[in-house]
């Protein structure tokens, strides 16, 4: 008998799962029906800031696979502009609105995958829904920003929130020639970084001409007679603005699941086991909407990253296709840039390590990305967090220029394997002058961390 898999959400997690399940089971065994409320599938939200910046010409370049390709090549029935409005887990049905036709229909499922992603946090201030205030979560959002840039020729942008999306959007606006203000409630940009590295990010943004307002809350949006934004009111005064972008972070978009009685965890993500199954029979979840666990803190977390969503989607797809897959947890490894400055992190910061019950020992080094005599050797600062006594690596954060950021992957690999900094400093990493000094900055950082652990006793 043919089973039916219904997938809610047609991006990274949803389409990875659908494709993986299809590889394992043909259409005669498994019917796959995907509902996506937007117009696109498998799009790279990660590319939106660079598209808005003008570095990528065509929106379609951000689409890895269009709905018709899924239909024709993989027999996956993708229905765009279809929004799932409720789930009945007893009857095993979903209610779906066809957004073009304005009709509602009901569809049964044997297995259901919820892959509804994350939703941007909107500060609850007057005027936040005004015209000219944009999120950048989907390609439709990105298109709206670009249309506004063409039609209104804004000169001043205010980015609300200095998370990594806020920072990338500040760079985009700067590259488009706008005067850019970033308003951030915390005392530093990118609050998951330790203050020492956060301060360096702030300093770099200032050098680039981005006006950073730290420790400042947005209190409201003022609009002109046409309803379009004209200023952002903050605790520090009013900033003129022709356009505003939200970079205040996201939360798991788990509302649909919660309304259907699917358990939600402390991080607001949908509770899943290693195989991406929720506690409700026949219901699965993957991607930004799902909760997972942190491999170092052992705590439940929801971290909105494409890296995680794609992997979880694959695991769900393996299981839904009749094979076996287990998701092994996350480290929160992330990387970004603002103009020429690269920033990356993995694992726990100092305070997070303390909160998780570790006694952290912290060490920082300044180094170079290439041999000091080789042209274009760039600065890099690395901060390591290790456990007192055992020397186990708990986290690393870095900031630098070209060639710096991807070094975080070596730390992530060490962290994944629960290595001590003493082991890391002896790892046989590569060297030639165009790529690194003979002691790569990663090894120097591990050496410094090892000394700090020994001194801490």
Ligand X SMILES: Cc1cc2nc3c(=O)[nH]c(=O)nc-3n(C[C@H](O)[C@H](O)[C@H](O)COP(=O)(O)OP(=O)(O)OC[C@H]3O[C@@H](n4cnc5c(N)ncnc54)[C@H](O)[C@@H]3O)c2cc1C
- Considering beta carbons, is residue 31 or 140 the nearer one to ligand X? 140
3-state class (DSSP) for residue 156: strand
Nearer to ligand X, 10 or 154 (CB): 10
Sheet holding 133-134, edge to edge: 133-134, 243-246, 156-160, 179-184, 211-214
Nearest residue (CB) to ligand X, 301 versus 420: 301
Residues that bind ligand X (CB under 6 A): 8-14, 35-38, 45-46, 48-49, 83-84, 115-118, 136-138, 165, 253, 256, 287-288, 304-307, 309
The minimum distance between CB 412 and ligand X, in angstroms, equals 13
User: Catalytic residue at 339?
Assistant: no
Of 3, 24, 46, 107, the catalytic one is 46
Minimum CB separation from ligand X for residue 287, in Å? 2
CB of 116 to ligand X, least distance (A): 4
DSSP 162-192: -SHHHHHHHHHHHHTT-EEEEEESSSSSSTT
| Residue 311 beta carbon to ligand X: minimum distance, rounded to whole angstroms | 10
In 3D space, the residue among 407, 405, 427 whose CA is nearest the CA of residue 417 turns out to be: 427
Rounded Cα distance between 357 and 331, Å, is 17
* CB of 49 or CB of 360, closer to ligand X: 49
Name residue, tokens 């952290």: 360
Sign of CA dihedral 20, 23, 29, 30: positive
Quick check: 53 and 350 in contact, CB under 8 A?
no
CA distances from 446 to 287, 300, 400, 415, 421 (A): 33, 28, 17, 12, 5
Which residue lies nearer to ligand X by CB, 193 or 452? 193
CA-CA-CA-CA dihedral for 309, 310, 315, 318, to nearest 10: 140
Min separation Cβ 190 and ligand X, Å: 13
Residue 404: strand, helix, or coil: coil
Residues annotated as catalytic (active site), given as ranges: 46
């Amino acid at each position: 008998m043919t089973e039916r898999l219904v997938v809610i959400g047609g991006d990274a997690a949803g389409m990875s799962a659908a494709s993986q399940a299809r590889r394992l089971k043909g259409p005669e065994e498994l019917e796959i029906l995907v509902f996506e409320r937007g117009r696109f599938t498998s799009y790279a939200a990660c590319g939106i800031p660079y598209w808005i910046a003008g570095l990528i010409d065509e929106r379609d370049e951000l689409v890895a696979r269009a709905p018709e390709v899924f239909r024709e090549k993989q027999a996956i029935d993708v229905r765009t502009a279809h929004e799932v409005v409720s789930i009945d887990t007893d009857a095993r049905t979903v209610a779906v609105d066809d957004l073009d036709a304005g009709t509602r229909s009901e569809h049964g499922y044997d297995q259901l995958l919820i892959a509804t992603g994350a939703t941007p946090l909107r500060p609850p201030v007057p005027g936040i829904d005004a015209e000219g205030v944009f999120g950048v979560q989907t390609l439709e959002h990105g298109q709206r920003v670009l249309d506004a840039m063409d039609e209104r020729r804004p000169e001043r942008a205010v980015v609300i929130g200095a998370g990594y999306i806020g920072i990338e959007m500040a760079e985009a606006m700067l590259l488009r020639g706008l005067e850019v203000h970033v308003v951030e409630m915390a005392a530093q940009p990118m609050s998951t970084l330790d203050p020492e590295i956060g301060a360096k990010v702030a300093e770099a943004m200032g050098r680039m001409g981005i006006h950073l307002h730290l420790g400042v809350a947005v209190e409201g949006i003022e609009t002109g007679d046409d309803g379009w934004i004209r200023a952002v009111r903050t605790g520090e005064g009013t900033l003129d603005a022709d356009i505003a972008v939200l970079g205040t972070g996201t939360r798991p978009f788990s509302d649909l699941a919660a309304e259907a009685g699917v358990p939600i965890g402390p991080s607001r993500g949908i509770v899943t086991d290693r195989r991406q199954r929720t506690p409700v029979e026949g219901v699965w979840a993957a991607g930004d909407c799902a909760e997972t666990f942190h491999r170092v803190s052992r705590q439940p977390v929801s971290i909105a990253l494409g890296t995680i969503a794609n992997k979880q989607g694959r695991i769900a797809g393996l299981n839904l296709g009749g094979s076996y897959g287990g998701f092994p947890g996350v480290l929160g490894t992330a990387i970004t840039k603002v103009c020429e400055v690269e920033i990356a992190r993995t694992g726990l910061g100092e305070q997070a390590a303390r909160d998780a019950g570790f006694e952290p020992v912290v060490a920082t080094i300044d180094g170079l990305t290439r041999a000091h005599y080789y042209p274009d050797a760039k600065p890099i600062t690395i901060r390591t967090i290790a456990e007192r006594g055992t020397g186990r690596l708990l986290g690393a954060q870095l900031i630098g220029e070209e060639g710096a950021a991807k070094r975080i992957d070596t730390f992530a690999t060490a962290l994944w394997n629960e290595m001590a900094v003493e082991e890391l400093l002896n790892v046989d990493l590569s060297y030639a002058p165009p790529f690194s000094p003979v002691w790569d900055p990663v090894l120097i950082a591990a050496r410094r961390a090892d000394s700090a652990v020994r001194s801490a006793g």
